Amino acid sequence: MDKIVVEGGAQLKGEIRISGAKNAALPIMAATLLSPGKFLLSNVPRLRDVLTMEHVLRVLGAQVTHHDHSITVDTTNCNYHEAPYELVKTMRASICVLGPVLARLGRARVSLPGGCAWGPRPVDFHIKAMRDLGATVEIDHGYIVAEAKRLKGASIVFEKSSVGATENAMMAATLADGTTVIENAASEPEISALANFLRSMGAVIDGDGTGTITIEGADELRSADVNVVPDRIEAGTFMVAAAITRGDVLIMGADIAQCGAVVSKLREAGVEIIAVEDGIRVRGPERLESVNVTTAPYPGFPTDMQAQFMALMSVAGGSSVVTDTVYADRFSHVPELRRLGADITMDRNVAVVTGVEHLSGAKVMATDLRASAALILAGLVAEGTTEVSRVYHIDRGYEAIEKKLSGLGAHIWREKAAA
């Protein structure tokens, strides 16, 4: 398995461009299953998770080709309704084919996703939504088995905000008979990106980006092309990279309007953040201030930035309290940050981070996507060499992160595992 090696100490300077958003591209790829035809998706990030979703689409009968950052999907002959365990276990987001396949074919058999590095991640809201829309849904030998001759518009009320369940419900409802209203819907920007794509396919959707989304079902949709929106979590990760190294970085293609909670917390920590034409300029202070942060559904502080922000706070002055209310146990990065010298104590879903004068390089292990980003960020300032193993985790969600960081002056490279 490859590893990424970082020599700490460089101040990042220069300009990088943000890739397309993984968490917008994946549901959009699934949405192509709703209609036969040819789709051109551009500004798609080159990530392991995107390749996995391409594979899922092929298993379901689509023809998929990619060239550079564009993907063409031909769903004309999609007639297979099963997403196998072997694929779903590698990427939970595969669950978002459930709604489209059920709506298009009248039946779907999708493996229950495996657990994750941070606890079981249930899919009960997804199942509830399909049942609300009139499908029969059973669990059979580890698979979700759903059937409905034609889904019926319904009122769907989620007990808590769920990005994936909102996406599955919205996609399925576009082909239902009648009107669907989703209450307590997630309002992340990726939901609106998906809704925009569905509208370009002929769907009638209102309210995306708010807690209530209304969908008028259609008998059929059409193919469409799409340019994937920029990745706000990659943008936040590079903001932290600039901040933690006292650097001065231009993050091009980032939409500051989608990064409000992260920008606000970084400014509280003393980081200078300026919106510029087509991007964000970030300058790190000589001394970072400790800041408390609690994650929440959008527009709150994203759980996907919790690990990265914790790395930043590990070298700030004072103590900060980091609370994750979205996932109670998304802290697998803590033991690894401690190996780098971070002073972090834990109590359930609350971490207290006491800033230290300096971190020191060590061998550490990536455990999940955002935890591995946090370890690389810490390595940028740790004295000496940090080796992050199992970087396949980071390749799931960051396109060539070591190349982008070395382009900003970081001393970072990838070492291929011995064959």
Report, as residue numbers or ranges, the catalytic residues: 116
Q: For residue 140, what are the β-bridge partners?
A: 143
Separation CA 199–CA 33 (nearest Å):
15
**The one among 32, 162, 258, 332 contacting ligand EPZ by CB under 6 A:** 162
Residue 380 sits at the vertex; the CA angle it makes with 287 and 392, to the nearest 5 degrees, is 140
Cα dihedral 371, 372, 377, 378 in deg (nearest 10)? 70
347 in Cβ contact with 323 (< 8 Å):
no
164 near ligand EPZ (CB under 6 A): yes
102 near ligand EPZ (CB under 6 A): no
Question: Which residue lies nearer to ligand EPZ by CB, 299 or 407?
Answer: 299
Separation CA 207–CA 222 (nearest Å):
22
Region near ligand EPZ per CB under 6 A, out of 119-127, 192-200, 333-341, 403-411: 119-127
DSSP string, 213-282: EEEE--S-----EEEPPB-HHHHHHHHHHHHHTT-EEEEET--GGG-HHHHHHHHHTT-EEEEETTEEEE
How many residues comprise the chain? 419
> Shortest gap between Cβ of 70 and ligand EPZ (angstroms)?
20
144 in Cβ contact with 137 (< 8 Å):
yes
115 near ligand EPZ (CB under 6 A): no
Question: Which residue lies nearer to ligand EPZ by CB, 26 or 182?
Answer: 26
196 near ligand EPZ (CB under 6 A): no
Separation CA 18–CA 236 (nearest Å):
10
Query: Who contacts 419 (Cβ-Cβ below 8 Å, separation ≥6)?
Result: none
23 near ligand EPZ (CB under 6 A): yes
**The one among 326, 344, 366, 377 contacting ligand EPZ by CB under 6 A:** 326
Within residues 353-412, the interface with ligand EPZ by CB under 6 A covers: 369-370, 397
Region near ligand EPZ per CB under 6 A, out of 163-171, 283-291, 316-324, 402-410: 163-171
**How many Cα atoms are found within 13 Å in the side-chain-facing hemisphere of 26?**
27
Region near ligand EPZ per CB under 6 A, out of 51-59, 103-111, 122-130, 346-354: 122-130
Question: Which residue lies nearer to ligand EPZ by CB, 99 or 164?
Answer: 164
Region near ligand EPZ per CB under 6 A, out of 19-27, 59-67, 97-105, 194-202: 19-27
Find the largest Cα–Cα distance for the chain. Answer: 63
Separation CA 185–CA 159 (nearest Å):
9
304 near ligand EPZ (CB under 6 A): yes
Phi, psi of 145 (to 5 degrees): -115, 110
**The one among 78, 81, 125, 208 contacting ligand EPZ by CB under 6 A:** 125
Question: Which residue lies nearer to ligand EPZ by CB, 74 or 231?
Answer: 231
332 in Cβ contact with 398 (< 8 Å):
no
Question: Which residue lies nearer to ligand EPZ by CB, 92 or 222?
Answer: 92
327 near ligand EPZ (CB under 6 A): yes
Question: Which residue lies nearer to ligand EPZ by CB, 362 or 378?
Answer: 378
Question: Which residue lies nearer to ligand EPZ by CB, 4 or 218?
Answer: 4
Region near ligand EPZ per CB under 6 A, out of 1-9, 97-105, 123-131, 386-394: 123-131
85 near ligand EPZ (CB under 6 A): no
Region near ligand EPZ per CB under 6 A, out of 59-67, 140-148, 161-169, 216-224: 161-169
Question: Which residue lies nearer to ligand EPZ by CB, 11 or 349?
Answer: 349
Q: Say how many Å lie between the first and final Cα of the chain, rounded.
A: 9
Separation CA 49–CA 72 (nearest Å):
16
**The one among 40, 77, 160, 268 contacting ligand EPZ by CB under 6 A:** 160
Query: Who contacts 16 (Cβ-Cβ below 8 Å, separation ≥6)?
Result: 238, 249, 250, 251, 252, 404, 407, 408
310 near ligand EPZ (CB under 6 A): no
Q: Which residues bind ligand EPZ (CB under 6 A)?
A: 22-23, 26, 92-93, 121-126, 160, 162-165, 186, 303-304, 326-327, 369-370, 397
